[in-house]
Chains A and B, each alone.
Chain A
Amino acid sequence: MTINTEFMIQTFFDVLAGIPVTLELTFITLLLSFPIAFFMALQKLEKKKVSGKIVSGYVSFVRGTPVVLQILFLYSLLPTILNYLIKEILKLEFDIFSINPMIYAFVVFSLNTVAVLTEVFRSALLTVEHGQLEAALAIGLNKCQAYVRIIIPQAIVSALPNLCNATINLMKSTSLAFMMTVKDITAIAKVNAAFGYNYIEAYLVISVIYIILCTLVQLGYVAVERYFSSYKRFSTN
């Protein structure tokens, strides 16, 4: 077994170009999913409503099927739908094959992440006692104010560990973006590796890079948690 260290160093620098892509995929997807997931979590908490049932079904489906299948399916479906929309309905001259594949990736990962975050937010909102809402209403806050000022700040704290997990899992999922021809870390490594059959070296290099990114994400969450949970730092009596 021989390890080609020169190749590894070269690949390391090549792959650096993919880091912004991986980070963009992760954080822009999170930003897109955040508000939708929060809204859906609120729907899901009201079980009697039809919208709550629809949300439950959606979450169950997305969480009950592999990400890779979701990617393959949407990546073959989305261009067709877009093509139809643009050519037949809007009658525009527009080459949909010129669309940046990143756009598809954002859509695909957001559809997945929304479901994950819905569960995160739902369980976080459940950790806040009902009495907090009642007390807020009783002193005259309206429901929106009660959520923004009292419920959400508390829910965020209990959501953070799960949010951190979701972020890491999302970042790992973005390694499948190569299936949509996005040039992220994994895609670049794959291309480099195939050239001279240096697969082990290439994948070891990006493992290290993923570990570093993953560590940075977790450190970030530790900092955020510290900021938000100052009120919890004291124990009772």
Chain B
Amino acid sequence: MRPFHPTYIFEVLPQLFPYIGVTIAVTFGTVLGGGLIGLLLAAAKIKRGRIAKVLVNTYVYLTRCIPSIVMLFIVYYGLPELLMVFGIDINNIHKAFFVITTFSILFAANMSEVFRSAYEAVNKGQREAAVSIGMTEFQAFRRILLPQCTIYAIPNFANALVNLIKEGSLAYTIGLIDIMGKGQLIIGLNMGSYSLETYLALFILYWILILLIEKSLKFLEKRLLQGRKILNTAG
């Protein structure tokens, strides 16, 4: 039986800590990029005609079927060549760029569904009532629809975000040094020994990170729901 040193877990953890920032930064970048694209997709699907709807649905369908790692490789190897055609050289750009691009593409598909279902969950009468008392369309959206949509969107958003962080751990396969990448580096430096301990340290970090996200979003949802129990029955 190979030796197992639980104490090494606590030696590895501090070495991983500085890289939590990278993991979070990449996640944040993706949420921003993917969220924005997702919003556009959802808006196109809701407001635009038939063709836009078909296009968005196809986009969502295709991204749903392709494994993240395959998508990551396509972007990593394909994007520089594609941009080269237009004379743009991104061969020396940071690895994080490819990671954020890849996961934005995937995350956008999830988010478009999150936005759309949240929008549709809010009763149409809400907008009509707001407009009927003299609000503009924008005011109705901003003051009446958006706050309600947010509550509906939170659980699905939490799911999408957790998935993003988990799938994001694949970034090490193209050489990004986030916590996962650093862990792999440490194992490499140790010539493969202490691998179990290092993986356990990574497990701990990911689990805590994800639990924190889940709990805080649940807390947020509860806070927003307070005093508006009526929404529950409407859903």
Contact = CB atoms under 8 A, between A and B. Distances in A.
Interface of A: 1, 60-61, 63-69, 72-73, 76-77, 80-81, 83-84, 88, 168, 172-173, 175-176, 186, 199-200, 203-204, 206-207, 210-211, 213-215
A30 to B, nearest CB: 17
Closest 10 CB pairs between A and B?
A214-B65, A199-B77, A66-B169, A175-B67, A172-B67, A73-B199, A64-B210, A200-B78, A66-B166, A1-B81
Nearest to B68: A172
B1 interface: yes
Nearest to B207: A64
Contacts of A81: 1
Contacts of A72: 195, 199
Contacts of A66: 165-167, 169-170, 180, 206
Interface of B: 1-2, 62, 64-71, 73-74, 76-78, 81-82, 84-85, 162, 165-167, 169-170, 180, 195-196, 199-200, 202-203, 206-207, 210-211, 214
Contacts of A207: 66, 70-71, 74
6 contacts: A61-B207, A65-B206, A73-B203, A76-B195, A173-B67, A199-B77
Nearest to B85: A1
A171 B73 CA distance: 18
Nearest to A215: B65
A76 B196 contact: yes
**Dominant secondary structure of chain A at its interface with chain B:** helix
Contacts of A88: 1
Contact of B70 (A73, A80, A84, A186): A186
Nearest to B206: A65
Given A168-B65, A175-B67, A69 B195 contact: no
A200 B74 CA distance: 6
A93 to B, nearest CB: 18
A207 B69 CA distance: 11
B211 A73 contact: no
Contacts of B78: 199-200, 203-204
A1 B180 contact: no
A199 B82 CA distance: 13
Contact of A206 (B1, B70, B167, B214): B70
Given A88-B1, A206-B70, A214-B64, A69 B81 contact: no
A83 B2 CA distance: 10
B235 to A, nearest CB: 15
A210 B195 contact: no
Nearest to B74: A203
Given A66-B206, A72-B195, 10 more contacts: A1-B82, A64-B206, A65-B207, A65-B210, A66-B167, A80-B2, A88-B1, A186-B70, A207-B74, A211-B62
A200 B72 CA distance: 11
B208 to A, nearest CB: 9
Contact of A1 (B84, B199, B203): B84
B196 A176 contact: no
A133 to B, nearest CB: 25
Nearest to B202: A69
A84 B3 CA distance: 12
A72 B71 CA distance: 20
B170 to A, nearest CB: 6
B203 A80 contact: no
A207 B78 CA distance: 13
Nearest to A178: B69
A203 B174 CA distance: 14
Contacts of A211: 62, 65-66
A220 B195 CA distance: 41
B72 to A, nearest CB: 9
Nearest to B77: A199
A65 B166 contact: yes
Contacts of B195: 72, 76
Nearest to A87: B1
Nearest to A207: B66
Contacts of A173: 67
A204 B81 CA distance: 14
A206 B70 CA distance: 8
Given A66-B206, A73-B196, A80-B1, A203 B68 contact: no
